[in-house]
Every structure is written in structure tokens, then in C-alpha cells.
Structure 1
Amino acid sequence: MKTQIAASAFALIASGAYGEALERTIPDAVGRVSPALEAYSRDDLLGSVWAGPQLSLRDRALVTFATLVTRHESDNLATHIELALDAGVTPAELSETVTHLAFYTGWGNAVAAARAMAPIFEARGIAAESLPPADPALLPLDRNAEDARENFVRGTFGDVSMGVVDTTRELLFRDLWLRPDLAPRDRSMVTVAALIATGQSEQMTFHLNRAMDNGLTQEEAGAMLSHLAFYAGWPKVFSALPVAKQVFESRSN
């Protein structure tokens, strides 16, 4: 019965424009090597998790892409780039996600992702001229929130590395986070996904609160954790769960 229900759910989501790209996320080699893994992938991951209504397909595709970039899974990126585009993530949003994750997961991961994206963009006629420019007009700065963040970081770490304090202020929070082609909610969401994927749960409190301030709901955040268990692994998600619980409880008081 479970397999029949999962197969029906998979058929439903695979019937959309993104269906072929979704199916390609399970390579034929998986079934030849591990029929059990193929069954879990099709019945549970694609048939149940991806069909879950708590988080949109578009958001699932975006956070999966961010997780694969973070984990340097270049061989798996192509099918998920196609899936993200077919599920409604725009080329500009993918471009901005790669730029953003360079700062949060390392330059090498972002460069590898760019290499994987380039032939897909070319095949779809997505030219560099149509993507976000290097120096766009920035979103307004929330001065009070930024002053509070800056005062905490400067007071805590100013005598350790003013270089980190200064570049965090100037490059990240007064530049990168204000670029307009990735909505603040989505920018926060891919940051939280990257922190989970790297097991950096100690950084999550600030960024999950920021994500929820930017519009991510508790239900969506919980669904993202469930989704990422498959792509980052259960141990990393269980390391993140206490932080998420603390954030949710603090916001409900």
C-alpha cells in the first residue's frame, strides 16, 4: 500500500513541466547497483518528500541546489539545475545563489557550480547580459538591525580580526545581502540550507531567525529540515533540530 501511494504521488508531480528533470535525478546506475536505493529514491524521496505541500516545489528545488553546491556535488548539479529552472527558479535567482554561496561555503564550491551551470544556461539561451549585474542598485538597509549586528560582532571579535569584522560589514551585510535579484527570504533560506549541509548548527540561530523575519514560516522551515535530511544526511539535520526548536520556541514566547 505504501509503495502504491508513493507511486501515485510521484506520478502526480512528475506530470508537470519539471517531471523529466525530476526523474533524471535518479540515474539508471542506481537501480543497477542498489535496487533498494532506487526504491527509496522513487517512492519516498520523490514520491513523498518532493510531493509534500508544506514547501513548494520551487523552494525544494532551490534549497536542494544550494545543498549540492555546498557539498561540492558537481556531478549531481546538472540535473538539479534543470529541475530548478523547470520548477520556477529563475536564472537570475540561480546566479545570485551561486554568488551568495561563495561567501558561505567557499569560492571553490561556487566556481564548480558555475562550471556546471554554464552549458545549461548556454543551451537554454540564457546570456550573461540577462543575469544580475556586478553592481546593481541595492535594497534599502535596515539600519537598526545592521547596527545591532555590527556592534555585537565588533565588540566580540574586533580584537581578534578587524579584517573579518570589516569585510563582513562591507561585503556581506551592506552589499551581498542587499542585492535585489534573490529575495531576502530566499537568500536566508539558502544560507540556512548551507549551514545545515555543512553541520554548522552553531551559526543557525541568527540565520534561521533572519529567515523567519524575512518571511519563511515555521512550517516551511520544518519541511526544509525534513527535505534536507535526504540531501545532507540525518546526522546533520539532527544536529540542526535543537537549534530550530530553540528558535521556534523563542519566537512563540
Structure 2
Amino acid sequence: MLKIASIACSLSLATSAALAQDRLPIDQEELARVSPVLQAYTKDDLFGRVWQDPALSKRDRGLVTVAALIARNQTDELSDYIRLALENGVTPAEISETITHLAFYAGWENAMAAVDEAADVFEDRNVSANQLPAVDPDTMLPLDEEAEASRQSFVQETYGNVSQGVVDNTEQLLFLDLWLRPGLEPRDRSLVTVAALIASGHVEQITFHLNRAMDNGLSKDEASAMLSHLAFYAGWPNVFSAMPVAKDVFESREG
């Protein structure tokens, strides 16, 4: 597994302390021994340029990357990216809630694999249970009752005769519980959802969730930057599969 290593080279562009060359979640020396070309792309383009683009904050990039790795069950460097996210302003509570959220959107076992990686990071940082979201929060986020009624009516009419269990759990567990938990702001919850959908190639689900993300405060520029970021972590084909959907969402909101 590639691990953080101290190396002599420096980034071609100025970086924050959290993205200093000796703090990258990829061992540049080992990478150079295997593929000097890939090492150059990693140093100069991924960390030297993409991570420095202010169109999406480093905090958001941390959340997006963690979500993509969980969705793809790529845990070799996940603990290092969790550390990077924490160093860029993501809280342990937000990491915890992201993992919980993605259990529903990426599958239970992918979330369990992420728990194993996060546990080591939390232990190293002395993160205690009282720093993490409560099982039963004192106050849940407000519900848009009209929007939820419309969503539920559509799902019931469309899929009730296919699997009432899925319809019921979608309503009760997801939209009347998970999405109302205060441990992750609605914008951030939408952000990690869209990132996970793109990373796992679930194009058909993106329209609803990208619109919801933008309703929750994600800007078009931020959404565009997220696509550019995810090309490196999910691959160009997955991003280009998502691009027509994003284009339609952007155009529909501008009309």
C-alpha cells in the first residue's frame, strides 16, 4: 500500500501546508521507481494544479475524494486521504457522517471497509465518541414537506408494485431520517452523494441528486470543478458519462 513519504522534490506551484510535498497521500519516490511519467502527472497536474484550483475548496476536494474512494471501495490510500481531508478543515464528525451516508449510497460493505481505515486515523488523533454524531440527535434538520410528498408520490406510483420494501425504506430511512441528520450540512451531504454516484458510474441517479445539491447551495462552478477533480479519481470515462447529465441539469436551471 502506498503511504505518505518524505521526498526532496517540491510542487511546481505553491501549496498549502496540508498539501506540502512531504504530506501527499502518495509515495512519490516509489511512484517514480515504477512510472516516472505517472509521478510527473501526479506531482505537477493532480496535486500541483487540480488540488490548487480555487474553484473548489480543498475542504470540499477532501470530501469529494473520500466519497469517491469509498464508493469505489479503493481503501489502500483512504486513511491518508481522510487525514488530508481533516487537515483541510473537514471534521471527524463529518467524516463519520459521510461514511454512514455512503453505506446507503455505496453499500454497507464499502462503508465497513472505510470504517477500518478511519478507525486508525481517529485513534491517532485521539478522536473520542463525544466528537462524533449522536445516534439520536436532539434536533433534526427541517423537512421540505411539499418536496418530500412529491418525491414519495412519484416513487410510490412508479415502483410500489416492484418493491414496496425499497419504497418504504427510501422514505423512512433515507429522506425522513438520514438526509435530516445534522451531522453533515445538506450541501455537503449532496456533494458526497453526487461524487459517489459519479465515481461508481450511476449516471441515471445524478440528475435528481445534482439538482438537489444545487438547491442545497452547490454552485455551478463548484459542480464543474468537482467533475474535473473526479476525472483523476474515478477515471475519464465515468466523468464523461456524467457530463451530459450535468450539462442538462445546468441548462435546465438557467432556462
Q: Partner residue of 2:230?
A: 228
Q: Partner residue of 1:29?
A: 30
1:181 positional shift: 1.2
Aligned Cα RMSD in Å? 1.4
The one-letter code sitting in structure 2 at the alignment partner of 1:46 is F
Q: Partner residue of 1:205?
A: 207
Larger CA deviation: 126-135 vs 91-100: 126-135
Secondary structure, counterpart of 1:211 in structure 2: helix
Distance in 1 between residues matched to 2:169 and 2:229, nearest whole Å: 33
C-alpha contact (below 8 Å) 2:140/2:182 kept by paired residues: yes
In the TM superposition, 1:23-172 aligns within 5 A as 23-136=24-137, 137-172=139-174
Distance in 1 between residues matched to 2:195 and 2:171, nearest whole Å: 22
Paired residue for 2:243, among 228, 236, 241? 241
Distance in 2 between residues matched to 1:210 and 1:48, nearest whole Å: 29
Q: Partner residue of 1:8?
A: 12
Larger CA deviation: 226-235 vs 114-123: 114-123
Q: Which runs of 4+ in 1 moved over 6 A?
A: none
1:29 positional shift: 2.0
CA separation of 1:62/1:153 partners in 2, compared to 1, >3 Å: closer, same or farther?
A: same
1:18 positional shift: 4.7
- When the two structures are superposed, what TM-score results if normalisation uses the length of structure 1? 0.94
Query: What is the total number of aligned residue pairs between the two structures?
Result: 245
CA separation of 1:35/1:20 partners in 2, compared to 1, >3 Å: closer, same or farther?
A: closer
Cα distance per residue 1:119-177 (max 9 Å; x no partner): 11011110123200111121111101100100000010011111000000000000000
1:7 positional shift: 3.7
Query: Is structure 2 residue 176 aligned with structure 1 residue 174?
Result: yes
C-alpha contact (below 8 Å) 1:21/1:83 kept by paired residues: no
The one-letter code sitting in structure 1 at the alignment partner of 2:94 is E
C-alpha contact (below 8 Å) 2:79/2:120 kept by paired residues: no
Q: Which has a greater percent of helix?
A: 1
Percent identity over paired residues: 60
C-alpha contact (below 8 Å) 1:49/1:227 kept by paired residues: yes
C-alpha contact (below 8 Å) 2:93/2:133 kept by paired residues: yes
Unmatched runs of 5 consecutive residues or more in structure 2: 1-9
The one-letter code sitting in structure 1 at the alignment partner of 2:12 is S
Distance in 1 between residues matched to 2:183 and 2:25, nearest whole Å: 28
C-alpha contact (below 8 Å) 2:18/2:84 kept by paired residues: no
Distance in 1 between residues matched to 2:32 and 2:21, nearest whole Å: 17
Distance in 1 between residues matched to 2:198 and 2:54, nearest whole Å: 21
Unmatched runs of 5 consecutive residues or more in structure 1: 1-5
